[in-house]
Amino acid sequence: MSGSRRILAEHPAAAPIRDRLRGRTGRSFWRSLDELSGSQDFRDYLAAEFPSLAPAAGQVDRRSVLKVMAASLALGGLAGCDGEPDEKALPYVEAPEFVTPGNPKWYATAVTSQGYAQPVLGKTHVGRPVKLEGNDVHPVARGAIDAFTQAALLGLYDPDRSAAPRHLGRTATWDALDRALVEQAGRLDASGGRGLRLLTGTVTSPTLSRQIDALLQRWPLARWHVDEPVNADRRHEAARIVFGRPLDLHLRLDLAEVVVALDDDLLGPGPRQVLHNRLWAERRAAFQRRDGGSRLFMAEPTPSITGAVAEDRLVAGPARIPALVRALAEALGIEAGPPHTLAEPERTWVDKAAAALVERPGRALVSVGPHLPAEWQALALLINERLDALGATLACTEPVAARLAGSGHSLEALIDEMAAGRVEALVVLGCNPAYASAAELDVASRMEKVPFRLHGGLHYDETAARCHWHAPLQHELESWSDARAVDGTVSIIQPLVRPFHAVRSPHELVDRLGGQQRAGHAIVQETWRARWGQAFEGRWRSALYRGFVEDSAAPLLHPAVTGRPSLPAEDDVPAGDLVLALRPDPTVWDGRHADNAWLQELPKPLTKMTWGNPVLVSPRLAAERGLRTGDEVQVGHGGRAIIGPVWVMPGQDERTVTLTFGYGRSRSGRVGQGLGYDAYRLRGIADPWHLDGATLVATGHHQEIATTQLHQAMDGFDFVRTVDPAELPEVLPSGSAATIARDEAPNPTLYPERHWDSPSWGMSIDVDLCTGCNACVVACVAENNIPMVGKELVAAGREMHWLRVDHYHEGDPDAPRSYFQPVPCMHCEDAPCEMGCPVNATVHSPEGLNLQVYNRCIGTRTCSSFCPYKVRRFNWFDYTGDDPESLQAMRNPDVTVRDRGVMEKCTYCIQRISAARIAAKIEGRPIQDGEVVTACQQACLTRAIVFGDVVDPDTKVSRRKAQARDYSLLEEANTRPRTTYLAKIEKAEGSS
């Protein structure tokens, strides 16, 4: 920042830390194993502005480059001479009541993830939903929102959604389907429901649960089955072993000063990601204020988000996790059978973890991954009892999701019944077992034996293609429903827009199955009218306004320990054998998001791969087999095999090969069709998550991987700074109004000195809180109409994201430390891009913003060359001109849709700044601190990002920048960026 920028005075003890952060620390961060080799090809690859044009790409020769450049110039001339409007808009003949163009309306609603409500505030412009944001008053979200939930907006506008019923693959009518359902209802009434099977995903909706109960009472011989590829069945079984009944377990990470996770990615993607990240960040922020501790230990076979931010991460194969659980129990005085021999690193890790747990009774927590056998999870519950964690850092409630007796193998039981010919009518609602199930179950062929098959879903997917009838369902943003969040809090799901197609809600479909034809709104209201009685009208309105039903969370229980697990012998994997670890994909999950371009192009947190799934192998295994990233391999087990590209993963267990679900789709729509391999082909029944004795054979071919890990690489050092917790001052700056303001002594510069008036905008990003979840990236995409470019152009280095989250390694490739660093535009005060632009298209505003004037830009790209942070994106092609009308309707009208041939970058969400400025001017007041919230800041699960006026010393961002941990990225460039960082707090290597 310039010398005129006023910041808060810091405590004198903080000065040495700030001085050290500004100097060279001698640490070496790397992003790729190839980077460590230092080959000339790799240096050429990084030196290229776009990696696909470097010699290492090996796919583009000089003639091809010239052809592409010529075509680009020709297209530029055509676009300039014959431009067409980007959107086709029709004016109102009569404007709708209460709608003012330019003023958005907000609705509190929810979308679901694996059946659990994810609360949102939906922003609409003249009836068009354009943005989903977190509900700041919801007890789970508190304003945060994950990547999956934000991307649900794109799912609403998906042009590949089913628009009409189908019968035997051909378009049909709802009247024809209704007649078929009436015929089935008559048969079922006569037989008491014999042969009817209803298959759904996880159900938390009180209304849908009520409807299913009514059907089962009417047809007592019918059965309800639940299929969820990624589920908590083993966790419920562990609770049944220890407490005598299945219970939901809730991790109180805000209270846990020591957390020991054994192959449990508790901060990673899933329905609880928002809650867990928020609670962990609250504890971490308290630790930063010297209010208690915040220590995280992780043992896992394949790197995860939780492992990346852990203080102490142990690389351990799947077969070693039970041994570690047993050893941890023994160290805490719990008899757990004969101890297993531990290697020295394992013993050291167990001793350190046990010592940390013992130091914090009642403030410690042990968690074992939900995919591990229930007996070992049950042992973890006994460990938590010994640590006084039950009722403190580990809470219990009745299961939030509706459950069935013995539903742990519900899909397998249904398959057996279909094979035996006992299923006469099958209704599949909102799940896709023909794709997302173990291949050995052979769901598709077993379904052929069922005389009547009906599928209800958003897409005509693999299961729909195997059914006689397909009923298109409403998207949750256009339907009435209800659902519970992970803590049990109920949200009333209200539509943001009327349905785009001839679709029905799941409630309406189930209603018609029972012979009735009511609207979804009436069905949902019936549920709550019965519960609230005369108070219905008031409570209903309150639930719609707030986005949830107050005091509806599941009550906490205090169950007594009634049993102990019968621990099996730990498996010893023969030396040299490979173990397959099967996991949900971090961006498309179990495959349900495969047709969502925002998520397909979202770089995966650790590999930064897009548009596909890799085969993760360790550096040692890769060296042993002569493999490099991108080499094609065949992975086999039990007579089945998949083929995919290798990704050599630092920190991977030596003998573990990791595959991810969600790809290899045959009927997912045009976006996800044919991408990657189908890991479900190798999934087992006995253990769906781990398989011993796998084979790995190179095919001799190479696949192109679209990864951003090496794109926009910066020259410099010390991108991520760290501070030992012992170095932090005992008393931190108060940041109160009485704190004295001072000027920083500026480095010498050739730029003219500037003096900034309030407001003058800046940002602070706390690297210590960032978990690399990518919620900020999707928020930026949704807010700023950022186009998706596809796999080929991402591989060519032409992704258009305005914000990236860099992932760095440090240390031994077999067990490195990991770091995340979000990098938006720095909005430099001494901006090289402004000096380099020949047409003054990049300029500074009076409020300190680095602006991009699109209609001046002529595409010289000198600004990109001059930018040391590599945060500018050139719009090579007209990415949006051929978008379907449905996608054009989704665009944020407050942000310009850019044509080809201009440079784009982060604007600090200037449209939000303008909106706040206008509102403040109308009310005759200054803009208040916190009134302007950027999209990335709003979505951040951990509140790592803070934005505001850097001239006012009392703003949150100024208080952040006054901390001893504050530093600038690439300080040696002397650009004086307005985006600065707070260093990560971690113990120095080798310290106790």
pLDDT tier for residue 749 given thresholds of 50, 70 and 90: confident
Q: Residue type at 728?
A: L
**Residue 566, helix vs strand vs coil:** coil
For Cα atoms 629, 634, 635, give the angle at the middle one, nearest 5 degrees: 100
The three state secondary structure string of 54-98 is CHHHCCCCHHHHHHHHHHHHHHHHHHHHCCCCCCCCCCCCCCCCC
Cα separation, 496 vs 194, whole angstroms: 40
What's the DSSP call for residue 215?
H
Distance of CA 954 to the CA centre of its chain: 33
Q: Are 107 and 496 within 8 A, CB to CB?
A: yes
Cα separation, 761 vs 878, whole angstroms: 32
Q: Are 133 and 146 within 8 A, CB to CB?
A: no
Reply yes or no on whether the pLDDT at 4 is more than 70: no
Instruction: Output phi, psi for 609, to 5 deg.
Output: -80, 150
Nearest to 456 by CA among 422, 439, 479: 479
913-946: pLDDT as tens digits:
999 999 999 999 999 999 999 999 999 999 999 9
pLDDT value of position 45: 56
Under 8 Å CB-to-CB from 416, ≥6 apart: which residues? none
pLDDT value of position 70: 36
What value does the mean pLDDT take over residues 15-38?
A: 65
Reply yes or no on whether the pLDDT at 8 is more than 80: no
Please state, for a pLDDT cut of 70, what percent of the chain lies above it: 87
Reply yes or no on whether the pLDDT at 736 is more than 50: no
Between 366 and 27, the more confident residue is 366
Q: Which two tokens stand for residue 141?
A: 């979200």
Q: Which of 65-69, 580-584, 673-677 has the lowest mean pLDDT?
A: 65-69
923-929's contacts with Cβ under 8 Å and 24+ in sequence apart are 926/758, 926/759, 927/759, 929/954, 929/955, 929/956
Q: Which two tokens stand for residue 455?
A: 């599928």
Q: Which of 183-192, 402-411, 845-854, 982-991 has the lowest mean pLDDT?
A: 402-411
Under 8 Å CB-to-CB from 139, ≥6 apart: which residues? 485, 487, 489, 548, 553
DSSP count for the chain of H helices, then E strands: 28, 40
Q: Are 156 and 131 within 8 A, CB to CB?
A: no
Q: Which two tokens stand for residue 79?
A: 């676009």
Cα radius of gyration rounded to whole Å, the chain: 28
574-587: pLDDT as tens digits:
767 899 999 999 99
Cα separation, 724 vs 990, whole angstroms: 12
Reply yes or no on whether the pLDDT at 340 is more than 80: no
Nearest to 260 by CA among 310, 298, 301, 232: 298
pLDDT tier for residue 717 given thresholds of 50, 70 and 90: low
What value does the mean pLDDT take over residues 724-732?
A: 73
Instruction: Output phi, psi for 244, to 5 deg.
Output: 85, 0
What value does the mean pLDDT take over residues 195-215?
A: 95
Helices within 761-892 (DSSP H only): 775-783, 791-795, 832-836, 862-866, 885-888
Cα separation, 292 vs 620, whole angstroms: 39
- DSSP secondary structure string for all residues of 441-485: G-HHHHHTT-SEEEEEESS--TTGGGSSEEEEBPPGGGS-EEEE-
Please state, for a pLDDT cut of 90, what percent of the chain lies above it: 75
Nearest to 151 by CA among 662, 962, 890: 890
What strand order describes the sheet that includes 295-300?
Answer: 312-315, 295-300, 258-262, 364-368
Would you mind telling me the total number of residues written for the chain in this entry?
992
pLDDT value of position 43: 59
pLDDT value of position 81: 33
For Cα atoms 296, 298, 302, give the angle at the middle one, nearest 5 degrees: 140
Q: Which of 95-99, 374-378, 888-892 has the lowest mean pLDDT?
A: 95-99
Cα separation, 481 vs 507, whole angstroms: 8
The three state secondary structure string of 953-974 is CCCHHHHHHCCCCEECCCHHHC
Nearest to 350 by CA among 309, 383, 378, 399: 383
Distance of CA 812 to the CA centre of its chain: 28
The H or E element containing residue 979 is strand 979-982
Dihedral of alpha carbons 971, 973, 976, 981, sign: negative
Distance of CA 121 to the CA centre of its chain: 18
Beta bridge partners of 660: 583
pLDDT value of position 743: 43
The owner of tokens 């990098």 is 823
What's the DSSP call for residue 269?
S
Give the C-alpha distances (Å, rounded to integers) separating 755 from 825, 846, 961.
21, 10, 18
Instruction: Output phi, psi for 670, to 5 deg.
Output: -70, -25
Instruction: Output phi, psi for 196, to 5 deg.
Output: -85, 130
For 943-974, b/e burial (b = at least 16 CB within 10 A) is bbbbbbbbbbbbbbbbbbbbbbbbbbbbbebb
The owner of tokens 């120095």 is 988
For residue 733, whether the previous peptide bond is cis, meaning omega lies within 30 degrees of 0, is no
Q: Are 948 and 958 within 8 A, CB to CB?
A: yes
627-666: pLDDT as tens digits:
999 999 999 998 999 999 999 999 999 999 999 999 999 9
**Residue 54, helix vs strand vs coil:** coil
263-283: pLDDT as tens digits:
999 999 999 999 999 999 999
Cα separation, 518 vs 578, whole angstroms: 55
Q: Which of 4-18, 311-325, 545-559, 951-965 has the lowest mean pLDDT?
A: 4-18
pLDDT value of position 883: 78
Torsion of CA 602, 605, 606, 612, to 10 degrees: -30
Cα separation, 376 vs 321, whole angstroms: 9
Cα separation, 162 vs 472, whole angstroms: 5
What value does the mean pLDDT take over residues 782-804?
A: 93
Reply yes or no on whether the pLDDT at 180 is more than 80: yes
Cα separation, 517 vs 522, whole angstroms: 10
Between 392 and 989, the more confident residue is 392
Cα separation, 668 vs 683, whole angstroms: 20
Strands 578-583, 690-702: pairing kind: antiparallel
